[in-house]
Amino acid sequence: MEESKSYHQKHIYLRPNDPEPYYWIGVIDWTLSFRANGLLRTKHNLSERSKQLSDDAPLPPDLRNEYVRGYGATIDEGLESLNHAISIKPDYDDAMAYLNLLYRRKADTVASESAREQLIEMADDLVDKVKEIKQKRAEASRQP
Domains by residue range for the chain, with CATH: 2-142 (1.25.40)
Going by C-alpha positions, the residue among 75, 53, 73, 50 that lies closest to residue 62 is: 53
Instruction: Considering only residues 140 and 6, tell me which one the structure prediction assigns the higher pLDDT.
Output: 6
pLDDT in tens, 101-143: 999 999 999 999 999 999 999 999 999 999 999 999 888 888 7
Q: How confident is the model at residue 63 (pLDDT cuts 50, 70, 90)?
A: very high
Residue 138 CA neighbour count, 13 Å, CB half: 6
State the pTM of this model: 0.91
Q: Residue 141: its pLDDT value, please? A: 85
Residue 93 has pLDDT above 80, yes or no: yes
